[in-house]
Amino acid sequence: MLRTANPALNSKSFGGFAGGARATFGRSTEGESMTIQGTVNKTGILLALLIAAAVVPWHQFFEARDPAAVSGWMMLGLVGGLVTALVTVFKKTWSPITAPLYAICEGLALGGISAMFELRFPGIVFQAMALTVGTMLVLLGLYKTRVIRATENFKMGVFAATGAIALVYLLTFVLQLFGVPVAFMHSAGWLGIGISLVVVVVAALNLVLDFDFIEQGANQGAPKYMEWYGAFGLMVTLVWLYLEILRLLSKLNQRRD
């Protein structure tokens, strides 16, 4: 049974497709079915759209030096990203349209968030981006060479860890709504740094599951539009990983201040 911790790539995402040729990362088949190379290309398009959209709030923030100048863009990005993500998950056939819209929305949100971190800790955004890309490439290499295998036990472990993190974040959000502080989650102490490091590791391991599901989709002859859906799933994980790395780096920087 296929399983992933990424809600965009669940056990039903690629099921039921027959007639596909075998595919592995680095090699793909041609035709109207989903391919690895096609998914890679579309992931590149989504990343380009995200970065292009992020430039808008980034530029406006550094012109005004005021969070209010980009709050509208960030709200549009956060709400739009959530809506387009949900639509994409439930209407996979729409992913050629909704996945690019999701990337643009996330770019608007991340552009403003990143600019605020950059103002306080110069250079942190480049470091977070480099670490995110580097982590993805390292894990892709380990996956291609089968050093890391997405076994059922591995998938179950990552799924459980991701679910636990989601529950902790939800509980933290609810407690803060009722005025109950949860300082350890955001502190620059060793406990806060340790928690962030664990979350970064779990987010990174989700990439392995995403690679496996995309490969399985190509192997099962999924329709061509699933390339956009697979690229969307990768983007969800990459955005999460980037934000967690950004938080971890900010905590480490605070300890040096």
Q: Would you say residue 62 has pLDDT above 90?
A: yes
Are 205 and 158 in contact, with CB atoms under 8 Å apart?
Answer: yes
Percent of the chain at pLDDT > 70 equals 87
Give the model's pLDDT for residue 29.
43
Structural domain count of the chain? 1
The answer to whether residue 7 is domain-embedded is no
Higher-scoring residue by pLDDT: 185, 124: 124
Confidence band of 7 (pLDDT split at 50, 70, 90) = low
The answer to whether residue 6 is domain-embedded is no
Average pLDDT for 162-186: 83
Average pLDDT for 192-207: 94
Average pLDDT for 116-123: 94
The answer to whether residue 25 is domain-embedded is no
Give the model's pLDDT for residue 30.
47
* Residue written as token pair 């994980």: 237
d(CA 184, CA 203): 20
The answer to whether residue 128 is domain-embedded is yes
Q: Would you say residue 11 has pLDDT above 50?
A: no
The answer to whether residue 63 is domain-embedded is yes
Q: Would you say residue 3 has pLDDT above 50?
A: no
Q: Would you say residue 2 has pLDDT above 80?
A: no
d(CA 122, CA 138): 26
Mean pLDDT of the chain: 88
Query: Looking at 58-72, 167-181, 192-206, 226-240, which range is the least confident one?
Result: 167-181
Domain enclosing residue 210, as ranges = 36-256
Average pLDDT for 110-116: 96
C-alpha distance across the termini of the chain, in Å: 49
The answer to whether residue 23 is domain-embedded is no
The answer to whether residue 148 is domain-embedded is yes
Within 10 angstroms of residue 35's Cβ, the number of other Cβ atoms is 25
d(CA 204, CA 217): 21
Q: Would you say residue 108 has pLDDT above 50?
A: yes
Question: Tokens at residue 121, please?
Answer: 């800790």
Give the model's pLDDT for residue 142.
94
d(CA 180, CA 106): 29
Sign of CA dihedral 108, 59, 49, 14: negative
Question: Tokens at residue 239, please?
Answer: 């955005």
Q: Give the H or E element holding residue 190.
A: helix 190-219
Confidence band of 1 (pLDDT split at 50, 70, 90) = very low
Q: Residues 6 or more apart from 77 whose CB is under 8 A from it?
A: 53, 57, 105, 106, 107, 108, 109, 110, 111, 112
Give the model's pLDDT for residue 129.
96
Give the model's pLDDT for residue 6.
61
Nearest to 165 by CA among 113, 80, 237: 237
Average pLDDT for 241-246: 96
Are 221 and 21 in contact, with CB atoms under 8 Å apart?
Answer: yes
* Residue written as token pair 């192997």: 219
Strand partners, 223: 33
Q: Would you say residue 14 has pLDDT above 80?
A: no
The answer to whether residue 10 is domain-embedded is no
Give the model's pLDDT for residue 178.
82
- The CA angle 164-167-168, to the nearest 5 degrees, is 85
Q: Would you say residue 21 has pLDDT above 90?
A: no
How many separate helices (H) and strands (E) can be counted in the chain? 8, 0
Q: Give the H or E element holding residue 235.
A: helix 226-256
